[in-house]
Structure 1
Amino acid sequence: MKKYLLGALAFWLSFSAVEAQQVAELTMKEALEYALENNPTTKNARLELLISKATVKETTAQGLPQVTGSYNLDYNPKIPVVFLPNQPPFGDPTNPSDVLPARFGVSYSSGLGVNVTQMIFDGSFFVGLRAAKTLQELTGKDLQKAENDVVENVKKAYFGVLVNQERIRLAVANMSRIDTLLKETKALNEAGFAEKIDVSRIQVQRNNIYTQVQRSQTALEISKQILKVQMGMPLEYDLVLSETLKELNTEEDLSKLLVEEGAERIEIQQISTQLELTGLDLKNNHAQYMPKINLVGNARRSGAGNEWGTVFSSDNWFGSSLIGVSMSVPIFDGFAKAARIQKNRVQINQLENQRMFLKETFKNELYTAKANLKNDLSILDVQKENLKLAEEVYQIARIKYNEGIGSNLEVVEADASLIEAEINYLGALYDGLISKVNLEKALGLLKTDLTN
């Protein structure tokens, strides 16, 4: 956590000079560090960890001495009557009733005391203390899971921005290329060497490319907003990504990823910890059958008087104290503990089944992720080759047209094929990036780039 705080501080300092323009320039690593610190999901997970730490302290406190103080000041407007039998030798022959009313007490009474209770033995306490510490471990794993999810989402969003930036770069290049062709064709038309339909055909192509540029710009802005939401960054800031797709996805890194064995998934660790918690709950229910023993003690000073001025007189105050041991033994609870024990055993079976299912699921997920990445890389190579060929075809069509041995239609069709090849290439590139993140998740390596 300290590392993330320092990383976030360094990040804020890095763009504090341009904060007035609300621009944040950051790398992938800086984006991830910022997201881990500011994303609401991870923030709440850290708060939950603090709650679990407080729960451990709360549970520990139950085994420490419990001390309470008490004070009372009472006034009896009428002292209660106690009835005694009107019989010899204490009877009153002059009273015809068979009982005699007597008042035992005074008008004012006061007392000051301290009570102490110390647990000697309670099986539930020791099991509960272990359970509280295990709960803290579980919330720590929940935090790791939340961080993994944030890293996954931020990486995918970050790649989405980079791909849209690349899409705009290609679209602008297409626009520049078609504008040059349109200008030349108009000049040829004015000179009588090209028909009006040739100009119109290129103008249609130019309008289509302009629409593509506008859509790409909108997609870029949307992808930036998505990235800021995933990072927990205010939407007012503009993002400038300082890395390229090539820098983040070298062939060497991809090759290493495909042969990685990976680590145990955090989801499996969560289930294992939940199993431990349920086992402790089972032990706690067994411990309910054992007696509970406490050491008790108290000290008290009491005073009384018939008048307000005498109730606090030292002559009317007397002390008392008590030290003892108390024990409570459960005898019969209507089989409630037995039912809870049975429920715990069923829950343990459920968690074991879930853990086994998750292990098999993650094996399949790992196999699928590696297969998808291999397939996407293969498709990417094909689309990269197609893009290169489309560029060559366009250049040849353009040369032929300029030399008068090719038609305007060939150039327009070659340009459309080039644009289609660019779109297919970018789609294959994005699919490959997403497959890479999915494989990192399947391998349990989403956060390794933060520890390097």
Structure 2
Amino acid sequence: MNIKHTILFSLFTGLQIISAQQLLTPERAVALALENNYGIKIANKNTDVAENNSGILNSGYLPTLTGNAGATIDKQNTEGELANGEVRVANGAETRRYNASVNLNYTLFDGLGRLYNYKRLKEEYQLSELEARETIETTIIQLFSIYYRIAQLSENTEVLQQTIVISRDRLKRAGYQFDYGQSTKLAVLNAEVDINNDSISLINTKQDLKNTKRDLKVVLGNSFSEDFNVDTDIDFLIALNKTALLEKTKANNVALLQTEKNIAMRQFDIKTNRAQFLPTVGLVGSYGWNESSNNSPLAFTLQSTSSGVSAGLNLTWNLFDGGSTITRVRNAKIALENQQLQKEQLVLSMERDFENAWDDYENKLTIFRVQEKNIKTAQSNFDRSQEQFKIGQVNSIEFRQAQLNLINAELSRNQAKYEAKLSELTLLQLAGELLNVQY
């Protein structure tokens, strides 16, 4: 196979490999994570538990109904004396008793304790939803940190592959120059060392790319088994408004919303404990059936059956329990005060974190734009050095330096681009808007 055929075969094989790799878009990655990530699944299951706990079946508002049944058999030897002095003996006299009943208990009033507990369970359910949302937001940030790392490594791989092509051409030219006596063997050796270093960098980058793809598959719950590429084109939300975003942070930040739910729960704890100062009124009712049989000649009745319904009200009032209820009320008030202090502390920290995140986003976006301009300068310098190297006006070391400057500029630009995008997503997470934007 000649060189021309070899090149065509390599290009065809490369196109087949690229076409075999699916393009995993950010939207698709987020959808797969929401459906298959194990952390999100666990958070959703915990939300289901909280929803069950907040239902009417766990509220204490429904009555309790119990059934009882029993049977006993006695065998006894009995001796008795009648009024006329006659003595009678009953050996092995058997007595059988059967009973069954259905009992109803229902609390009519408990100082509104059930009401406050029911409302607290609703707050717990909403808190679990916020915790699930926090898990989702954290997972999405983790997802994109890996996704954009793959994108960066993919672009770095392309840069290093192009670098090797240039380094090979340089080695070839250095060999020609040495053969015709235009340079020394040192230039050839330097070119060989540089192409070996470039090859090592490419091998390490490809290995990092494979490892990072495996990390992404773990976040996706291993739901994407095929090899894939990621989208390296990103858009920035240039229209972000700092003042409006800060207001959204104060209104929608998930940590702040969780604190507000905890405050509401502490308020219901106080009311629930205070309800124990009031009496409890309950309704009781039952339907019972009893049957007894006795074959003893000394028994007054040989068989009896009874059934009936009973109902009543009862009142329970714990007039003094040694101060336990008073202590619980006081502790609940302290817990509420602590929760309010935590909210104030969180607001201060949140405002600081927002300012830091905003500045970090602006700085990284500016650095990315500067790096893009730096690419043009480095590319222009490399192109000029390459032309001068071809005609012998620039030596191998100077050409290599221009090449390294371009490589470093491209790698720095790739890093700055994805760091700026991650900084933007972090800012949106802080503002509670991460789930409301297009990726």
State the shift of 1:323 in Å.
0.9
Q: Is the 8 A contact 1:260 1:443 kept in 2?
A: no
Structure 1 residues 19-418: aligned runs within 5 Å: 25-57=23-55, 59-60=57-58, 62-78=60-76, 107-122=95-110, 123-234=112-223, 236-241=225-230, 243-244=231-232, 246=233, 248-250=234-236, 253-256=237-240, 260-261=244-245, 263=248, 264-307=252-295, 316-418=304-406
Output the amino acid matched with 2:235.
Answer: N
Q: Is the 8 A contact 1:296 1:325 kept in 2?
A: yes
State the shift of 1:91 in Å.
11
What is the aligned partner in structure 1 of residue 14 from structure 2? none
Q: Is the 8 A contact 2:293 2:302 kept in 1?
A: no
SS of the aligned residue for 2:240 comes to helix
Inter-partner Cα distance in structure 2 for 1:30 and 1:357? 38
51-60 or 116-125: bigger deviation = 51-60
Inter-partner Cα distance in structure 2 for 1:277 and 1:269? 13
State the shift of 1:318 in Å.
1.3
TM-score by length of 1: 0.83
Over the matched positions of the two proteins, sequence identity in percent amounts to 19
What is the aligned partner in structure 1 of residue 90 from structure 2? none
**Structure 2: gaps spanning 5 or more residues:** 1-18, 86-92
Structure 1 residues 149 and 22, CA, compared in 2 at 3 Å: closer, same or farther? farther
SS of the aligned residue for 2:65 comes to strand
Structure 1 residues 140 and 78, CA, compared in 2 at 3 Å: closer, same or farther? farther
State the shift of 1:297 in Å.
0.8
Output the amino acid matched with 1:34.
Answer: L
Q: Is the 8 A contact 1:59 1:132 kept in 2?
A: no
Structure 1 residues 355 and 323, CA, compared in 2 at 3 Å: closer, same or farther? same
Structure 1 residues 294 and 413, CA, compared in 2 at 3 Å: closer, same or farther? same
Output the amino acid matched with 1:213.
Answer: L
Q: Is the 8 A contact 2:36 2:223 kept in 1?
A: no
Q: Is the 8 A contact 1:299 1:322 kept in 2?
A: yes
State the shift of 1:306 in Å.
2.1
Inter-partner Cα distance in structure 1 for 2:375 and 2:270? 64
SS of the aligned residue for 2:292 comes to strand
Inter-partner Cα distance in structure 2 for 1:351 and 1:284? 18
SS of the aligned residue for 2:238 comes to helix
- How many residue pairs were aligned? 406
Q: Is the 8 A contact 1:108 1:307 kept in 2?
A: no
SS of the aligned residue for 2:433 comes to coil
Inter-partner Cα distance in structure 2 for 1:152 and 1:257? 21
| 1:220-261 C-alpha deviation (Å, 9 max, x unpaired) | 1122122222222257443332x22x3x224xx234366752
CA RMSD after TM alignment: 3.0
What is the aligned partner in structure 2 of residue 98 from structure 1? none
| 1:335-382 C-alpha deviation (Å, 9 max, x unpaired) | 111111111111111111111111111111111111111111222222
Output the amino acid matched with 1:206.
Answer: I
| 1:148-186 C-alpha deviation (Å, 9 max, x unpaired) | 111111122111111111111111111111111211221
Q: Is the 8 A contact 1:113 1:301 kept in 2?
A: yes
What is the aligned partner in structure 1 of residue 9 from structure 2? none
**Structure 1: gaps spanning 5 or more residues:** 1-20, 82-89, 94-104
Q: Is the 8 A contact 1:373 1:435 kept in 2?
A: yes
Structure 1 residues 394 and 307, CA, compared in 2 at 3 Å: closer, same or farther? farther
1:428 matches 2:428: no
Inter-partner Cα distance in structure 2 for 1:106 and 1:70? 24
